[in-house]
Structure 1
Amino acid sequence: MLLIRPPGVYRPQGDTELLVSCLHRERLRSGSRVLDLCTGTGAVALAAAEDGARVTAVDLSGRAVATAWLNAMLHRSGIRLHRGDLLAPVAELSFDLITANPPYVPAAATAAPTGAGTGPGLAWDAGPDGRLVLDRICREAPRRLARGGVLLLVQSSLANVPATLASLGTAGLRTTVAARRRQAFGPVMAARAARFERLGLIAPGQRHEVLVVVRGVRER
């Protein structure tokens, strides 16, 4: 899919591809209500729209929202776009499917991103354990699912997949790991590999992660 991506907006890559592959397996009905969190370029949102869904997409970055709008225009897609903090712009709505490719890379900073900047780190830095945004999605997204609704959440193995499964289970979702993909470290992860080793997140000399899509279903 042809996408516009200016500097400072997350480039669709392995995690995006893995999430889209799981999205297509959901076999969305025409008119299904889909919410794409941390939409970036809008790649996942556009894939859902191509499957016939009514799509709403949210990102904290104003530059990302503008990029997703341009890509929606390029593909003549009627995606609804909001700039905001995760589910805040859609607090009163419910969805049949929620997708999310949030920041999940462990980082030294502990403060939550504000969205005021446009640096690329906004798309991947997620606190010391990589769970700064993941934990919020696990708490907030299940409440916005319709009965029988599905959450698809992609993350790295370095950001504690069991914690995601446990948190979504506590929120009432039936959880499974829908897909896995081993992937060599890209530039961001490789630059932090020594720190990951010191923290015990990877074995000495390890230079790969496992990308995981967690699927949670709200019972009917």
Structure 2
Amino acid sequence: MAAPLRSTIPLQVTDGVYAPQEDSWLLSGVLEASGLAEGRRVLDICTGSGVLALEAARLGAREVLAFDLCPAAVECASGNAAASGLPVEVRLGTLQDAVQHGPFDLVVTNPPYVPSTLPPAGTGPDRAWDAGADGRVVLDELCALAPRLIAPGGALLLVQSEFSAPRQTVQVLTDSGFIAHTAARQMIDFGPVMTARAGELEASGLLEPERRTEELVVIRAHRV
């Protein structure tokens, strides 16, 4: 399992854009250790600040395309790409838009995965984490589209929380013809978002009373 890695690329994160946190660093560490980016065509979906797209480019990807549905995130990631001088193209769009540019050799993503009683709506900062009652609104769409997003022999790296059913992600991908497994785990203290959602999680039975930690999980899948 890869150790969490802090980016060596300077990043500016503007208001309303998801700032890289423990989930970003855990996935970055797996990305670097995997060697999957070098020479590959890479998609970073739900790019936010662009941190994963930039890491893929730094690690030798031949082409990196990044998508986000939030205009503020696209502007932020585009600025970080320009400042870094790395070959990253950032576009405004959804998973369905990204499919039109596939397939890719590697897809990396830190998607929304926090369970919420409020349905995802708009393009504000909450869309970076709110993912429906079970935390799987984006994860389920991503898994369904994976065979179209990823070329034969390609791979997927994604990070999610224990509270959004990682085993279900592995099972769905396996049923779709991928070889999928857990590549890394990390237990962390709740940040501001999860702290604010703790009451909802307790009420739904997902969180034990008074517990304020979660396990992050990186899933790695290869299309046979």
Counterpart in the other structure of 2:201: 196
1:183 matches 2:191: no
Counterpart in the other structure of 1:123: 128
Give the counterpart letter for 2:35 in structure 1.
Answer: R
**Alignment size in residue pairs:** 215
Q: 1:60 aligns with which of 65, 69, 78?
A: 69
What secondary structure is seen at the aligned counterpart in 2 of 1:168?
helix
Q: 1:205 aligns with which of 204, 210, 214?
A: 210
Task: Tell me if the contact between 2:114 and 2:135 (Cα under 8 Å) persists in the aligned partners.
Answer: yes
Q: 2:40 aligns with which of 32, 57, 67?
A: 32
Q: Distance in 1 between matches of 2:45 and 2:147?
A: 13
Q: Distance in 1 between matches of 2:37 and 2:211?
A: 42
Counterpart in the other structure of 2:97: 88
For 1:148-159, what aligned pairs fall within 5 Å after superposition? 148-159=153-164
Q: 2:115 aligns with which of 91, 106, 110?
A: 106
Counterpart in the other structure of 1:138: 143
Q: Which moved more, 1:44-53 or 1:196-205?
A: 196-205
Task: Tell me if the contact between 1:142 and 1:151 (Cα under 8 Å) persists in the aligned partners.
Answer: no
Task: Tell me if the contact between 1:183 and 1:210 (Cα under 8 Å) persists in the aligned partners.
Answer: yes
TM-score normalised by L of structure 1: 0.93
Could you list the runs of 4 or more consecutive aligned residues of structure 1 that deviate by over 6 angstroms after TM superposition? none
Q: Distance in 2 between matches of 1:169 and 1:84?
A: 27
Q: 2:152 aligns with which of 140, 147, 161?
A: 147
Counterpart in the other structure of 1:171: 176
Pick closer, same or farther for the CA change 1:29–1:48 going to 2, 3 Å.
closer
Deviations 1:152-210 (A, max 9, x none): 01000011111111111111111110000001000111112122111111111110100
Give the counterpart letter for 1:97 in structure 2.
Answer: L
Q: Distance in 2 between matches of 1:30 and 1:177?
A: 22
Question: How far 1:47 moved relative to its partner?
Answer: 0.3
Q: Distance in 2 between matches of 1:29 and 1:133?
A: 23
Give the counterpart letter for 2:32 in structure 1.
Answer: H
Q: Distance in 2 between matches of 1:30 and 1:184?
A: 33
Q: Distance in 2 between matches of 1:84 and 1:114?
A: 13
Task: Tell me if the contact between 1:83 and 1:89 (Cα under 8 Å) persists in the aligned partners.
Answer: no
Counterpart in the other structure of 2:27: 19
Task: Tell me if the contact between 2:18 and 2:125 (Cα under 8 Å) persists in the aligned partners.
Answer: yes
Counterpart in the other structure of 1:44: 52
Question: How far 1:113 moved relative to its partner?
Answer: 3.3
What secondary structure is seen at the aligned counterpart in 2 of 1:133?
helix
Task: Tell me if the contact between 1:87 and 1:141 (Cα under 8 Å) persists in the aligned partners.
Answer: no
Task: Tell me if the contact between 2:117 and 2:200 (Cα under 8 Å) persists in the aligned partners.
Answer: no
What secondary structure is seen at the aligned counterpart in 1 of 2:137?
coil
What secondary structure is seen at the aligned counterpart in 2 of 1:63?
helix
Question: How far 1:122 moved relative to its partner?
Answer: 1.3
Task: Tell me if the contact between 1:28 and 1:52 (Cα under 8 Å) persists in the aligned partners.
Answer: no
Q: Could you say what the CA RMSD is over the residues aligned between the two structures, in angstroms? A: 1.3
Gaps of 5+ in 1: none
Counterpart in the other structure of 2:87: 78
Counterpart in the other structure of 2:4: none
Give the counterpart letter for 2:52 in structure 1.
Answer: V
